[in-house]
Structure 1
């Protein structure tokens, strides 16, 4: 899904196409498969575990003591899926389980720095650590439809205003959930200066992982991930929130403009967790 550079004209339409392609290339292939594939019903349960290491930044609320999660029992897959966001839970968003293709693409992402693996896990719809159950989602905002007589550029602008979000909801045994957040903190610190990841044989350079602030749940970790795509920086907010033994991790990208933390989705997910 990398942009082709055959035509770099400065017409509004071609500029929007290029921005969309650049933004799309900045996020993991796993997320983009879902964005481009519509709402197929082929979904895959993600009880796979990935991620070692961790990150250490200040990007959260005052955390509840990890001891609060010490007695957590991992939920069965079916119970966890009932708690995950679903179509109709959040207005103006299309929500679907990640497909088998999404999960397979995410599983194939590698990095040149193992310390950054927890960040790659979030980018690739993979759970960090060793959850007892995990379910990945792909979420896209519903763009406003332009008027019937609107010029083609307006229709393209509406499409490129769409925000794509990947969420992975995971349930952990014992201290697994706090440990997953701690792993992300350590990874953020170790990989602040950037790293390279590979998807389908194609390398992408993350130039910076900057701490951000997010307050929610028992504790939260947040970053702004900047990716260099064909010389253009593209940012993606990454947020992981813990509620007892559950962790909801999000990464978002806007195809044509500024990418913002998906607060409405995070709030809706936490409300559903109770």
Structure 2
């Protein structure tokens, strides 16, 4: 039987499957200073993007397995639960937060992998997801900046006929090159579930951690051990 999260993501996936876009880009080089007093050449847009996106194969290699996180079963997230297309949110000032619910970003990730984690010991109803999103470095920085701003300014929004309230920032987990964390309450098929997100940027890759309390109650925590294991493995792999 699908979880509440699975049911809503499948529904959203049907809507999102109506279209798709792909991001692409190149890498440029800066001109060297000739030694004259002419103004230094400006970096090209491609150079300003910094690190290139990782490939899907690299993301897959960097994704945690059960060997990396003791006490958890780790499985692939079904493709129909990670739609490829952004669905408009109301108000639009909450779009980045809404997109991240589906592991989406603007600009689009060039590759994504996702894993579902199940604790072998805890019975508190917490569902865990992890996603690795390949971006150009400049785009990854923009996504984190948008999430940081919107988690502070966006209190509630509607997305694919579902409501999300109580959006508020949480303590920065302090991982990778930069990170942001926030919580909200989702109203799915009349049931309210507290959810927590932590998003870490490591170079050009976004590492997304999602926790939902399927039993309701207080906002769940994303286990620090899981976050640290994934970020460490990513940084050692690439």
Give me the TM-score of the superposition, normalised by structure 2.
0.70
> Does residue 195 of the first structure (1) align with residue 157 of the second (2)?
yes
How far apart in 2 are the matches of 1:114 and 1:77? 30
> Do the aligned partners of residues 234 and 102 (structure 1) sit closer, same or farther apart at CA in structure 2, a change above 3 Å counting?
closer
1:125 deviation in Å?
2.9
Q: Residue 62 of structure 2 is aligned with which of 60, 83, 102?
A: 83
Aligned equivalent of 1:138: 116
Aligned equivalent of 2:209: 250
Q: Residue 218 of structure 1 is aligned with which of 168, 174, 177?
A: 177
How far apart in 2 are the matches of 1:142 and 1:125? 25
How far apart in 1 are the matches of 2:97 and 2:110? 20
Unmatched runs of 5 consecutive residues or more in structure 1: 2-20, 34-46, 51-68, 145-157
1:225 deviation in Å?
1.0
The runs of at least 4 consecutive aligned structure 1 residues that moved more than 6 Å come to 47-50
- How is 1:1-274 mapped onto 2 (pairs within 5 angstroms)? 25=4, 29-30=8-9, 70-104=49-83, 107=85, 110-143=88-121, 158=123, 161-191=124-154, 193-198=155-160, 203-213=161-171, 214-228=173-187, 234-256=193-215, 258=218, 259-274=220-235
> Do the aligned partners of residues 209 and 186 (structure 1) sit closer, same or farther apart at CA in structure 2, a change above 3 Å counting?
same
Equivalent residues of 1:164, 1:252 under 8 A apart: yes
Equivalent residues of 2:89, 2:157 under 8 A apart: yes
1:101 deviation in Å?
2.0
How far apart in 2 are the matches of 1:110 and 1:137? 25
Q: Structure with the greater relative contact order (CA < 8 A, sep ≥ 6): 1 or 2?
A: 1
1:78 deviation in Å?
0.7
- Provide the alpha-carbon RMSD of the alignment: 3.3
How far apart in 1 are the matches of 2:195 and 2:22? 23
How far apart in 1 are the matches of 2:186 and 2:108? 27
> Do the aligned partners of residues 110 and 138 (structure 1) sit closer, same or farther apart at CA in structure 2, a change above 3 Å counting?
farther
> Do the aligned partners of residues 173 and 227 (structure 1) sit closer, same or farther apart at CA in structure 2, a change above 3 Å counting?
closer
Count, aligned residues: 201
1:26 deviation in Å?
7.0
